[in-house]
Amino acid sequence: MSEIKNTILADIKACMKSGDKTRLGVLRLISSAVKQREVDERVETDDPAMLVILDKMAKQRRESIEQYTAAKRTDLADVEIAELDIIKSYLPEQLSETEINTLIDEAITASDASSIKDMGKVMGIIKPKLQGRADMSAVSSLIKSRLA
């Protein structure tokens, strides 16, 4: 069983005992997403799969924050920011821009990428290394700018 999943389940119990309803709600959302994946795919969730789930949830929150901020709905944006902070606490430490650029350069070199047509090759190499440790849409933009 996934170490991250065990931590989340233990934290759910702790939140129930302490009465931290905000954190409990977010942890239940995570647990629900994990169970949904396990039922759909009939597999036990491991740590790499947990990172994919958490990364997807974080991305959804970042997009919602952008939309709420653009619509001047700071009340809703604040809720999403709080949820994002909780989700981030289960993700590995984010890589710096320098580290990300180094990994992109290595992936481009390893795949002999020379044009935007090689984007899939580069993403195939870099995604497992960066999953949960960087915003993949930002990484994708960086790769596009390098290959253009």
- SS3 for 92? coil
Tell if the pTM clears 0.85, that is, is over it.
no
In sequence order, the 6+-apart residues with CB closer than 8 A to the CB of 130 are 95, 100, 103, 136, 139
Mean pLDDT for each 10-residue chunk of the chain (148 residues)? 90 95 95 94 90 92 95 96 95 89 90 87 89 85 88
Domain layout of the chain by residue ranges: 3-88, 97-147
Q: Which CATH number fits domain 97-147: 1.10.10.410, 2.120.10.30, 3.40.190.10, 3.40.605.10?
A: 1.10.10.410
CATH level 3 topology of 3-88: Hypothetical Protein Yqey; Chain: A; domain1 (1.10.1510)
* Two structure tokens written together for 138: 């930002």
